[in-house]
Amino acid sequence: MDSPTLIGENIPCMNPDIADAMNRQIGMEFNAAFLYLSFSGLMNEYGMRGTGRWLRAHFHEECAHALKILDHLELRRTTAVLPTISSPSFNWETPADLFRIALDHERVVTSSIHSLLSLCRRENDFAGEQLMMDFVREQLHEEATFASIFHALECAAHDPAALLQIDSQLADQL
């Protein structure tokens, strides 16, 4: 008797190097999520609750990025390896410091996405390439957003009225 055919059995598996790189990318997205969640709490304590809410929304956005890659792996019947997320550690004194750290982190993420895109192209993984192109566009906006908030906070420096105005503008974006 013939053995039963499993659903999706004939879908070819992914290149293992691409699968590894995508798993690492999932880790980076969750690391970003944890970073922004911890920043959110710090901003709430600092008295900038609009910024805290904005950062918490960004925590959800980063989780969605991780899940988008995870869904891609599942669609292609490739095991997604969930990463260990360590507690974020950083030094800060002003809100601008936190957004500088976030901007630096987004730049690292962008570089990782670009490497993954190059790998997909080298291996003719067109579905992977398409997914990574979505992330290239996303990163363009992420970097621009964090850079503009960082510069605004840096200009406001220790001026409470200016900081509260930025705080209220961020709250309005939600």
Measured from the CB atom, the residue of 31 and 51 that comes closer to Fe ion is 31
Residue 8: C-alpha distances to residues 5, 12, 30, 125, 148 (Å): 9, 9, 28, 18, 45
Among residues 104, 98, 100, the alpha carbon closest in space to that of 45 is found at 98
CA angle 15, 114, 111 (to 5 degrees): 125
Residue least distant from Fe ion (Cβ): 65
Residue 76: phi and psi, rounded to 5, are -105, 20
- CB 32, min distance to Fe ion, A: 5
- What is the radius of gyration, based on Cα positions, of the chain? 19
Please give the Cα distance from 133 to 139 (Å, whole number): 10
Q: Does 65 bind Fe ion (CB under 5 A)?
A: yes
Q: Residues binding Fe ion: what is the number (CB under 5 A)?
A: 3
Choices 8-16, 54-62, 83-91, 97-105 (CB under 5 A): range interacting with Fe ion: 54-62
Measured from the CB atom, the residue of 56 and 65 that comes closer to Fe ion is 65
- CB 108, min distance to Fe ion, A: 11
Measured from the CB atom, the residue of 61 and 154 that comes closer to Fe ion is 61
- CB 91, min distance to Fe ion, A: 23
Tell me the Ramachandran region of residue 126: left when phi exceeds 0, alpha when psi lies from -120 to 50, beta otherwise.
alpha
> Are residues 149 and 162 in contact, defined by beta-carbon separation less than 8 angstroms?
no
Choices 34-42, 64-72, 97-105, 162-170 (CB under 5 A): range interacting with Fe ion: 64-72
- CB 132, min distance to Fe ion, A: 12
Measured from the CB atom, the residue of 30 and 152 that comes closer to Fe ion is 30
Choices 62-70, 94-102, 111-119, 126-134 (CB under 5 A): range interacting with Fe ion: 62-70
Contacts with Fe ion by CB under 5 A lie at: 29, 62, 65
